[in-house]
């Protein structure tokens, strides 16, 4: 993702390729882009660029000679020249994940060229804003975003003052690795820059930001030091805020267009410059915002709060605790139930002893009934035999 140095290099690139060129006609937007139309049309205009942190501003300036080419006379020409399209226009760009500028032949426009400015010369050439992922944005008549702080590269003194004056802000309650991505205070710092800065100072990425930065409020140099000694001391022992300026400036001084895959030579130099970001042997973790932070392990990484955990991890933890409680409670209930139950053998004896009186009684009754029937049968049979003999 392009960071402060890449946007500054892009502005330098635009000023270099557009120097001495006159652009003409309409500004064309691709059909698939959801960014606003740029309603600017001029027979002759020039383009210049400036950068601030993670933003870049293009200024389209019509040439004064164009007044004579407009329809109408006198006051009408003046009104038309000061009305709408012929006034200078500022376009503020934010590159998103993959934005960049390219200057190519109009006949061979690059793929994903979503905004195009054509030269007046023939054959025509075009300055194109290229963005394959389409996360980049531009604003017509745009200005620098007010909620972004001073640029870490071009406004260092204002940047340092803005940070140290606002350490009570809730943004500094977070780990230092997350605070460094807050563009309200660190305008221009991105993912690879924060990794390189923290690595050089051996600051653990999940240390509290306020704790790290509060010590800088009381850092004062001796007034007896000469200017050259002060500069040397800063170079040999820079603090965090000084590196937020110095590290991006190193990338700028390398030149080129950064680490994009289309610039193989620049990418090789950039990868050789990296000391921590995506370097083998370094460790990476997700911060509370889901961004990957690369760092070197010097001591155990402090556990992050549950706020930074994913919802799936929270659910798993809760369900695990719940299952554990259920298992413990179930075991305790089973033990209590077993304690209330008598021994199995004793239960059999007790049941047998309870059933035995009732079983004996019916047996005795059946014996008495059988004997009674036999005695009755004998009594009734005797008279009948006597009657037979008498006959």
Predicted confidence (pLDDT) per residue in 97-141, tens digit: 999 999 999 999 999 999 999 999 999 999 999 999 999 999 999
How sure is the predictor about 240, in pLDDT bands with cuts at 50, 70 and 90?
A: very high
Catalytic-labelled residue, pool 29, 54, 57, 174 = 54
- pTM recorded for the entire structure: 0.70
How sure is the predictor about 71, in pLDDT bands with cuts at 50, 70 and 90?
A: very low
Whole-angstrom distance, CA of residue 112 vs CA of residue 134: 8
- The mean of the pLDDT values for the chain is 81
How sure is the predictor about 1, in pLDDT bands with cuts at 50, 70 and 90?
A: confident
Place of tokens 């009594």: 379
Per-residue model confidence as pLDDT tens digits over 350-364: 555 555 554 545 566
User: If you average pLDDT over residues 155-179, what whole number do you get?
Assistant: 98
How sure is the predictor about 340, in pLDDT bands with cuts at 50, 70 and 90?
A: low
SS3 205: coil
User: If you average pLDDT over residues 173-190, what whole number do you get?
Assistant: 98
User: If you average pLDDT over residues 376-389, what whole number do you get?
Assistant: 45
How sure is the predictor about 252, in pLDDT bands with cuts at 50, 70 and 90?
A: very high
Whole-angstrom distance, CA of residue 14 vs CA of residue 32: 24
Whole-angstrom distance, CA of residue 20 vs CA of residue 48: 11
pLDDT surpassing 50 at residue 76: no
Cα 267 to Cα 17, 66, 273, 363: the distances in Å are 21, 43, 10, 106
Q: Which residues contact 30 (CB under 8 A, 6 or more apart)?
A: 112, 113, 114, 115
User: If you average pLDDT over residues 302-309, what whole number do you get?
Assistant: 53
Q: Could you give the dihedral angle defined by the CA atoms of residues 347, 350, 355 and 360, in that order, rounded to the nearest 10 degrees?
A: 140
User: Each residue of 190-215: b (16+ CB within 10 Å) or e?
Assistant: bbbbbbbbbbeeebbbbeebbebbee
**Is residue 54 annotated as a catalytic residue, yes or no?**
yes
Q: Give helix 240-254 / helix 4-17 axis angle, nearest 10°.
A: 30
Q: Where would I find the H helices in the chain? A: 4-17, 75-81, 156-165, 176-179, 191-201, 209-214, 227-236, 240-254, 264-273, 311-340, 344-390
Query: Contact at 8 Å (CB) between 94 and 135?
Result: no
**Is residue 161 annotated as a catalytic residue, yes or no?**
no
User: If you average pLDDT over residues 233-254, what whole number do you get?
Assistant: 91
Select the more confidently predicted residue: 178 or 359. Answer: 178
Catalytic-labelled residue, pool 3, 55, 178, 196 = 3
pLDDT surpassing 50 at residue 45: yes
Q: What is the per-residue pLDDT for 344?
A: 52
**Is residue 357 annotated as a catalytic residue, yes or no?**
no
Nearest CA to 155 among 187, 195, 178?
187
Bridge partners, 296 (sequence order): none
Whole-angstrom distance, CA of residue 143 vs CA of residue 139: 8
Select the more confidently predicted residue: 170 or 347. Answer: 170
pLDDT surpassing 70 at residue 379: no
CATH level 2 (architecture), domain 156-302: Orthogonal Bundle (1.10)
Q: Where are the domains of the chain?
A: 4-140, 156-302
Q: What share of the chain is helix, strand, coil (3-state, %, to 5)?
A: 50, 15, 35
Q: Could you give the dihedral angle defined by the CA atoms of residues 112, 115, 118 and 123, in that order, rounded to the nearest 10 degrees?
A: 10
Q: What is the per-residue pLDDT for 391?
A: 40
How many whole angstroms from its chain centre is CA 198? 19
Whole-angstrom distance, CA of residue 101 vs CA of residue 7: 10
Q: What is the per-residue pLDDT for 37?
A: 97
Least confident of 44-53, 106-115, 137-146, 335-344: 335-344
Whole-angstrom distance, CA of residue 126 vs CA of residue 118: 4
Region of 88 on the Ramachandran plot (φ > 0 left; ψ -120 to 50 alpha; else beta): beta
pLDDT surpassing 50 at residue 301: yes
Phi/psi for 139 (5° steps) reads: -125, 130
SS3 180: coil
User: Each residue of 280-317: b (16+ CB within 10 Å) or e?
Assistant: eebeeeebeeeeebbbbeeeeeeeeeeebeeeeeeeee
Nearest CA to 183 among 144, 139, 151?
151
CATH code, residues 4-140: 3.20.190.10
Structure tokens belonging to residue 204: 């653990």
Q: What is the per-residue pLDDT for 334?
A: 59
Peptide bond into 266 cis (omega under 30): no
User: If you average pLDDT over residues 238-243, what whole number do you get?
Assistant: 97
């Amino acid at each position: 993702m392009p960071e402060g140095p890449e946007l500054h290099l892009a502005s330098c690139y635009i000023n270099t390729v557009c120097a001495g060129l006159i652009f003409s006609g309409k500004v064309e937007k691709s059909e698939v882009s959801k960014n606003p139309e740029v309603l600017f049309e001029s027979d002759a205009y020039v383009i210049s660029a400036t950068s601030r942190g993670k933003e870049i501003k293009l200024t389209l300036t019509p040439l004064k000679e164009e007044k004579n080419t407009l329809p109408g006379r006198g006051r009408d020409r003046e009104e038309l020249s000061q009305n709408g399209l012929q006034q200078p226009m500022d376009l503020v760009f934010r590159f998103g994940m993959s934005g960049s500028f390219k200057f190519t032949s109009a006949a061979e426009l690059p793929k994903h060229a979503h905004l195009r400015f054509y030269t007046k010369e023939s054959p025509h050439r075009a300055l194109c804003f290229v963005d394959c992922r389409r996360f980049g944005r531009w604003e017509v008549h745009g200005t620098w975003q007010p909620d972004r702080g001073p640029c870490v590269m071009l406004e260092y003194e204002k940047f340092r003052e803005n940070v140290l004056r606002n350490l009570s802000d809730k943004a500094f309650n977070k780990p230092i690795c997350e605070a460094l991505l807050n563009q309200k205070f660190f305008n221009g710092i991105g993912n690879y820059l924060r990794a390189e800065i923290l690595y050089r100072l051996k600051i653990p990425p999940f240390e509290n930001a306020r704790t790290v930065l509060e010590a800088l409020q009381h850092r004062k140099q001796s007034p007896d030091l000469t200017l050259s000694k002060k500069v040397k001391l800063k170079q040999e022992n820079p603090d965090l805020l000084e590196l937020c300026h110095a590290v991006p400036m190193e990338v700028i001084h390398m030149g080129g267009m950064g680490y994009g895959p289309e610039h193989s030579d620049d990418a090789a130099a950039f990868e050789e410059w990296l000391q921590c970001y995506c370097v083998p042997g370094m460790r990476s973790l997700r911060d509370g915002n889901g961004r990957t932070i690369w760092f070197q392990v010097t001591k155990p990484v402090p556990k992050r709060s549950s706020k930074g955990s994913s919802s799936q991890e929270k659910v798993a933890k809760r369900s695990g605790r719940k299952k554990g409680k259920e298992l413990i409670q179930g075991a305790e209930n089973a033990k209590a139930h077993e304690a209330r139950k008598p021994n199995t053998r004793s239960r059999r004896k007790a049941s047998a002893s309870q059933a035995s009186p009732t079983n004996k009684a019916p047996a005795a009754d059946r014996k008495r009934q059988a004997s009674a029937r036999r005695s009755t049968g004998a009594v009734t049979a005797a008279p009948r035999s006597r009657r037979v003999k008498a006959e």
